Amino acid sequence: MKKINNLISIVIVAFHSEKEILKLLDSISNDFKILITDNSLDNNFKKKFEQKYSNVEIIIPEYNLGNGGGVNFALKKVKTKYAMYLDVDTNIDANTLKKLLLIAENQKNWAVLAPNINNYTYKKKCYIKKEDEELFSMNFVEGCALLFNINEIENIGYYDENYFLYYEENDMYFKYIKYNKKILLAKNLYIDHIGNSSTDKKHFDEIELNRNWHLMWSKFYYYKKNYSYFAGLKKTIKNFISAAIKMTIFFLINKKKYYKYKNRFSGLLNSYLNKNSWKRPNIK
């Protein structure tokens, strides 16, 4: 068990998600060092959890860094060879972590290793090739549970913090593959992931508006950055037109849908104008 402690740290990003964090921590063995970036900037949360869990350290940034920035903040403090990032709404057991570590120790030239996800099927375009009976090289893996090779991250780079939500994983994978570093999927190791439930439900509406804004901002930024401005327009212009039409239609008949498409329209417009990803949840 000491060897595992020396090999891996667990990294989590929290944002007003105390109940969800409790469930996740109770599913993880206390043999692992756990670093939690708290984007809600709550010192009471830090005090409460560090008193309850001796293996947990809550680190608080100066401001809400978003998901990728929050992961970076923790990864830069990791002192182990590997770091396992987990979304708050995942569930993983110690045995699965140990098996991932065994795979990691026996592979070369890789940057990210992901477990499979229950009730989720990858599209054919996500696969590059079969490495062996256990592993596939991938163009894309879901970002809810990722084992990072810290040495490769330090050499090639962390998440691009211009993204606040969405597409930060796509961008990182694109970069790693360009440098001939593998993104691996352990097809026979499974975890549970609920999805879109990492923040307290009372904040659901505000979080959803932000998700829609950032989904569109990040989509255009990703294609603009990695391909061209024109490629970004080609990929998103239908989203832009659709958001404009639906925003107009729902203005008088459904305010909830109106604000959803207004945020999509605004996110894309700001991205088209090369403005920063500025929108943040209005939660205190």
Q: Where are the domains of the chain?
A: 2-193, 201-272
Name the DSSP letter for residue 274: T
pLDDT in tens, 9-59: 999 999 988 888 888 888 887 888 999 999 999 999 999 999 999 899 999
pTM: 0.91
pLDDT in tens, 164-191: 999 999 999 999 999 999 999 999 999 9
d(CA 283, CA 277): 17
CATH 2.30.29.30 for domain 2-193, yes or no, is no
